[in-house]
Structure formats: structure tokens, C-alpha cells
Amino acid sequence: MVEIDLDTKIKFLHGFSHKTRIQILDCIKEKEKTVSQIVNDLQGNQSNISQHLACLKGCGLIVGRQDGKFVYYRVRNQLVHDLLTMFDVVLEDVQNDVACCEQYID
């Protein structure tokens, strides 16, 4: 297995470190969507969502597909999809501990 640089790991994990980015990943986990569809689903604003999409793309978690004037976003591949599913599986087990964690800084 190839050893990954610590800074690269941190940049990758940064993609998961904001509520809006997690909402976006959940929103497009099963089906690709345009920015407008994501904004509508999340009841967010387009500028904010676009910034978070750029972060997710930069972290390698999502890709965009141009179709005419629209860009459709989806999770990068099955590995990312599986990772998102695994987060939910692990959280089912540890959610009470996480909910009580006093170390969380917003």
C-alpha cells in the first residue's frame, strides 16, 4: 500500500469537515445533480453552495460533468460512495458518544 503524505490526508478529510459539504455529499450520493438542484434541495444560496462544491472537487470527492449550459455533480466513484455509506454505518455504532463529545468546536 502506498504511504500517503499527512498533509494530503488532512486536505482530503477537510472535505468532510463542514455541515454544508456533508449535506451536498448526501444530496448527490445516489444521483448526480446541478448546482440549482442542490441549492433547491438544501435551501441554500448558490454562491455558498458553489464554494463548497469547489472544495469538494478540490478534495477529490466529487466530479462535474458538463451537459450544455449545466454542470452535473456526482460523487467521484464507487469508493467515495462506499466511504459515505461506511460513515453512516460507523456512526450508527458511535453516535451516542459523538453526540456527547464536548471537544467539538464549531
- What confidence tens digit (pLDDT) does each residue in 19-46 have? 999 999 999 999 999 999 999 999 999 9
What is the average per-residue pLDDT within 10-16? 92
Smallest Cα–Cα separation from 57: which of 10, 15, 4?
15
Stated pTM of the model: 0.89
Fold of 6-100: Arc Repressor Mutant, subunit A (1.10.10)
- Amino acid present at 43: Q
- Amino acid present at 52: H
